[in-house]
Structure 1
Amino acid sequence: MFKGGTMSLESLGINLRIKLVLATSWFIENTAKLLGYPKTSQGMPIVNDPNAIYGLPLHQPRVPPSPDPTNMLEAIFGNVPKSSAIDKFYYESARDGYYNFYIEHYKNVIFLPDWLSKWIQLHFTIGVDTASLEIIRDTLFSLSIYFMFFLQFRTMLYYFITINPYTRPWIYLISLSDWIYDILFHLGITRRATFFGFPILSIIVNGVAGVIADALNHLVFTMPFLPSEGQAGRVLIDGVPKDVIMFRYLPSLWFSHPIPDKLREFWYVQRPDIYKFMKSNYGHLDIDFLPNKILRQIYESEQNHLHSKSLVDNVEKIKILSTHVFCNSTILLQEWGNTLSYKQDVLLSSFLEHNDKLI
């Protein structure tokens, strides 16, 4: 009897499911007929490129990272969180130059503002190598993930009423996350972050930390270009055309500001082909492509040449001046001699006339 009752309940459940499916099908079909199906509606378009309907793809990072331990600590506590940043593909071209690169165009790609990218490049002399910035980005990303873990651990302690979080060793762990709540409390945000009397501050803080970690995971550095110099295009990647953002030709900062000296010295010493390319294609823009020490030597050589030339000119001027002075002095002496002889003649004639009168 129990078995029979069970079978009857099972049959009743199957019948209800069938009726529900039929009712849903009838409702959808009649609703579609009101909209012109199947006469005027062509149905869902079939395309090979899903981006044509849904737009650009999303960059899907993996957080936390896939389990791939390499030591005992990672086997116990899991892998160290690492950012799955968007890759940059560099290429050299006889037309575009030597420092071109492109990235896949995602909806959630993030760039620095132009003013911040410019400030970093000018004040820290960052040219092409962005390894230091990427290390900082990955470090901040890992710290954000760890901070989220401690926030979640702090929230989890609320469910264990037998644990006093303000006793050792728990107080050491919660101190890693409670500092943010202390700051928000002093700012008066804690009292406002409630929903029908239920505090939601921990949810908000976790969400903000997640947004920051997600932004760091999609952040791309465009040095030596500014982010606004990117150009949209399509490139074949593994035989598939994909939307990309291309950065090529001469960076605008290299035109408006001096190129980093280390980079110019690298061209001059190790890559003269890059120097020749820059000089032949952009030499008319009045940009210094030589390193500072070479420019200093050229400047000192020109100054020495100008100094020696000015010295020769001065010697010639002195010679001309001395000749002129000598000629003038000779003329003056001749005039003085003529005047003196004339005076002597006048005096002598006067003396003779006076003697004649006495005789």
Structure 2
Amino acid sequence: MSLDEKFVSVRTAFYDIVGNFFKGIAGFFGYPLNPGMPTMSDIPSDQYARSRFLDSLPTHRTSWPPVQRPETWFEMIFGPTPKVEVVPRYIYESKEEGFYNFYIENYKNIYFLPDWLSEFIQVKLHICLDLTVLETIREVFFVGLMVYSQIVILRIALSWFIYINPYTVPWCYIAAAVDWTEDVLQGIVPAILGVNITGSVFLGILGIVADSLNHLVFTMPFLPSEGEETKLLLNEQMKNVLVFHYLPVLWYRYPIPNDIRQFWYNERPDILEYMEKAYQNLDIQFLPDEIVSQLNKEQLTSSVPILDMLPTELLSKNDFIDTNIVLTKLHSLGEYLTTFLVQ
């Protein structure tokens, strides 16, 4: 008989004593008749299905530090510069859906601008199709965060070298750029074993903000809420995507930007023809403003002789005035005035 087998009875007795002790304590609270804390109410089936769907989506993964693929001599010596790894937009055209459709792969960690902010950028700032300005702002902001994170790392490293006074030139500039974060976080983030970790916490916050820029998607000329969830076969794999297609809702609520309409009229008449045919029942102006103004002037000029026709013909008949001619001209004049006022 082994030593473990000799103590089996002792072990069992100890387990029974401890179990009876806890059962006795639980007996004060109604055990075993007390079922415990109330269970959570049933989650609605639609919300449960939605949460399961979001959990099943893949994650848009980014890499930091970036993959070492130097393209210039500078990058070969000092390493590649940080670049935003955006979610790609796949633009497509079709006869049914139009010319400004695109789709993106649906991820669980992608972000969009609020509808009101996207509408403000498109309507007030006139940034609709050309997203170069927004992409540049995001790139500059991302690189700025990466550069500032390196300054924070350098400041943390300086604090460990006691023979370097961080408040002397040139180190004082680094301290001035970073030490304000300690004033903000000092009362929130506690020290661990006497070590100040505010710099490390702030560095993590910078990383989260910078990484979120990789997952930010611009949906112009559509609003983010116009995306439709569906599935497409991509690279022989069925994937969940968000599709933005047909007519953007802002082009119905507000006039289409005139530069876009000029582009259609001068360089892409096929787009103009499609828009006028597909959305002819909507009160939308697809022609450029100058073309519409020119057509209105030509229509007004061509209708002026109708007004001059009545007195000219009446004066030419000095000897006799036919009442039928007078009534006919007055009727034509009334029809013209009615049409002109309605326009």
Tell me what 2:14 maps to.
none
Residues 52, 262 of structure 1: CA spacing in aligned structure 2 closer, same or farther, 3 A cutoff?
closer
Taking the aligned partners of 2:288 and 2:166, their CA distance within structure 1 comes to 61
Q: CA deviation at 1:316?
A: 6.6
Aligned residues of 2:54 and 2:108 also touching (Cα < 8 A):
no
Tell me what 1:116 maps to.
117
Tell me what 2:269 maps to.
272
Q: CA deviation at 1:263?
A: 1.0
Aligned residues of 2:186 and 2:198 also touching (Cα < 8 A):
no
Residues 108, 198 of structure 1: CA spacing in aligned structure 2 closer, same or farther, 3 A cutoff?
same
Q: Give the aligned CA root-mean-square deviation in angstroms.
A: 2.7
Tell me what 1:137 maps to.
138
Q: CA deviation at 1:308?
A: 4.9
Q: CA deviation at 1:305?
A: 3.8
Taking the aligned partners of 1:54 and 1:171, their CA distance within structure 2 comes to 48
Aligned residues of 2:100 and 2:245 also touching (Cα < 8 A):
yes
Q: CA deviation at 1:311?
A: 4.9
Residues 312, 212 of structure 1: CA spacing in aligned structure 2 closer, same or farther, 3 A cutoff?
farther
Report the AA paired with residue 241 of structure 1. M
Cα deviation, 1:203-245, whole Å, max 9, x if unaligned, reads 3322221221111111110000000000001111111111100
1:249 partner SS: coil
Tell me what 1:193 maps to.
188
Report % sequence identity. 40
Tell me what 1:44 maps to.
none
Cα deviation, 1:230-275, whole Å, max 9, x if unaligned, reads 0001111111111100000000000010111111111111111111
Q: Is 2:91 aligned against 1:90? A: yes
Cα deviation, 1:150-188, whole Å, max 9, x if unaligned, reads 11211121111111112223233444434x53xx74xxx
User: Alignment partner for residue 281 of structure 1, among 268, 274, 278?
Assistant: 278
Tell me what 2:241 maps to.
244
Report the AA paired with residue 136 of structure 1. I
Tell me what 1:290 maps to.
287
Structure 1 residue ranges without an equivalent (≥5): 1-50, 324-359
Q: Is 2:216 aligned against 1:219? A: yes
Residues 211, 311 of structure 1: CA spacing in aligned structure 2 closer, same or farther, 3 A cutoff?
farther
Aligned residues of 1:193 and 1:200 also touching (Cα < 8 A):
no
Normalised by the length of structure 1, the TM-score is: 0.67
Report the AA paired with residue 187 of structure 2. R
Cα deviation, 1:87-141, whole Å, max 9, x if unaligned, reads 0000001111111000000011111000000000011212222122111111111
Taking the aligned partners of 1:121 and 1:133, their CA distance within structure 2 comes to 11
Number of corresponding residues: 266
Larger Cα-atom Rg: 1
More helix by share: 1
1:273 partner SS: helix
Q: What are the residue-to-residue correspondences of 1:1-359 with 2, within 5 Å?
A: 55-178=56-179, 180-181=180-181, 185=183, 189-195=184-190, 199-312=196-309, 315=311
Aligned residues of 2:89 and 2:102 also touching (Cα < 8 A):
yes
Residues 300, 52 of structure 1: CA spacing in aligned structure 2 closer, same or farther, 3 A cutoff?
closer
Q: CA deviation at 1:145?
A: 1.2
Taking the aligned partners of 1:160 and 1:168, their CA distance within structure 2 comes to 16
Structure 2 residue ranges without an equivalent (≥5): 1-51, 320-343
Residues 111, 152 of structure 1: CA spacing in aligned structure 2 closer, same or farther, 3 A cutoff?
same
